[in-house]
Amino acid sequence: MKRFCKLFMTILLLNIIYIPQVYAADTCGKITGSFIYDKEKFNDEEVSLYLIADYDEKANKFSFKNEFKDFTLDVNSLTYGELEEYSLTLKKYIEDNSINSSHSVKTNDNNQFIFDKCLEKGLYLVKTEDIIKDKFKYISLPSILTIPTITKEDANHIYDIEINMKVEVKNLDDNNPTDPDNPNNPDKPIDPDDPNKPNSDGSNNGSDIKIPNTFDAIYIYLSLFIGSLILIILIIYLNQKKKGRKENEKNK
Mean pLDDT of 179-198: 43
Give the lowest-confidence range in 192-206, 218-232, 234-248. 192-206
- The answer to whether 159 and 90 have CB atoms below 8 angstroms apart is no
Which string of DSSP letters, residue by residue, matches 27-70? Answer: T-EEEEEE-EETTEE--S-EEEEEEEEEEETTTTEEEE-GGGGG
pTM, whole model, 2 decimals? Answer: 0.59
Mean pLDDT across the stretch 168-180?
Answer: 68
Domain boundaries, the chain: 29-172, 214-252
Please report which confidence band the pLDDT of residue 182 belongs to, taking 50, 70 and 90 as the band edges: low
CATH code linked to domain 29-172: 2.60.40.10
Q: How confident is the model at residue 191, as a pLDDT? A: 41
10 vs 225, residue with greater confidence: 225
